[in-house]
A = this chain, B = another copy of it.
Amino acid sequence: MSNTASSSSVGKQVVLENRVEQLDASEDAYGGVIVEIKEAVDPNVFTILLRASISKWRQQGKSGVWIKLPIELVNLVEAAVKEGFWYHHAEPTYLMLVYWIPETANTLPANASHRVGIGAFVMDNEGKVLVVQENNGAFKDTGVWKLPTGVVDEGEDICDAAIREVKEETGIETEFLEILAFRQSHKSFYGKSDLFFVCMLKPLSYDIQKQDSEIKAAQWMPIEEYAGQVFVQKHKQFSYVAEICLAKKDNHYAGFSAVPTTSAFAAKKNYLYFKKQDLELEV
């Protein structure tokens, strides 16, 4: 926001020196502008500022217009929508609205489409696997022993999420080894899709301290016993994963390792997951 628009007397100051004040905006890398409203403004004043700003951005040949409204400024949402904006995405603390100035079809990036989860296959040297029963969820009261699972947080690496979830649910310390498999499923949540990664981890401790709120029971169980459960045998997804785990015990299955790299353009650290041992690389 301009200082003017965010001051309490903004209403009187909209027109200054025969010109209409405009919203402060920063430019994005795709010919658009980003407006982040941080302080209260009267909705009618906001509408005037928005119209003047869009008119200017149109003259300047701008394309997409992004407005980020904190939830405290919910009273401006209707004004923006009335000016032609629509929702792009929302998080608990803010709503992101967008508008497309050109006559052409918009090329705005899509919203996030997937949630990401992990299942942790933690096997000790004797071929025992760490399994749990949960207090809630689809497996509640089924008696099925399952691998610890959890959701990957926004900004969290899959390999770190697996270590965190095992520690939270069972108290066991682990080291990440490999991605053994992954599953993509759809319409898991309001039309969103889901990616679930089966991670193999090496235990660094053995004394289970279960999390009481989520976990009903936890134990080390022979892998053959885990794989032999009726539920696992009956459902292909689970039996495939169990077969992979059994193959892993006999050391004739190779998954993807997590190899740290940096992105080409932003020099951000990230992981590339691939079958490292098939390549002759210094990593």
Contact = CB atoms under 8 A, between A and B. Distances in A.
Interface in A40-86: 71, 74-75, 77-78, 81-82, 86
Given A113-B115, A192-B112, A274 B181 contact: yes
Contacts of A81: 71, 74
A74 B83 CA distance: 12
Contact of A154 (B181, B191, B195): B191
A171 to B, nearest CB: 21
A114 B197 CA distance: 14
A87 B78 contact: no
Interface string A150-188: 011111111000000000000000000000111111110
A270 B112 contact: no
A78 B86 contact: no
B116 A183 contact: no
A243 B187 contact: no
Contacts of A116: 113-114, 193, 195
A236 B254 contact: no
Interface of A: 30, 71, 74-75, 77-78, 81-82, 86-96, 109-116, 136, 138, 151-158, 180-187, 189-193, 195, 231, 235-238, 240-241, 243-244, 247, 252-256, 259, 261-265, 268, 270-275, 278-279, 281, 283
19 contacts: A71-B81, A71-B86, A74-B77, A77-B77, A87-B90, A89-B89, A89-B90, A91-B111, A109-B115, A114-B116, A116-B195, A157-B186, A181-B273, A183-B261, A186-B270, A237-B261, A240-B281, A256-B256, A275-B275
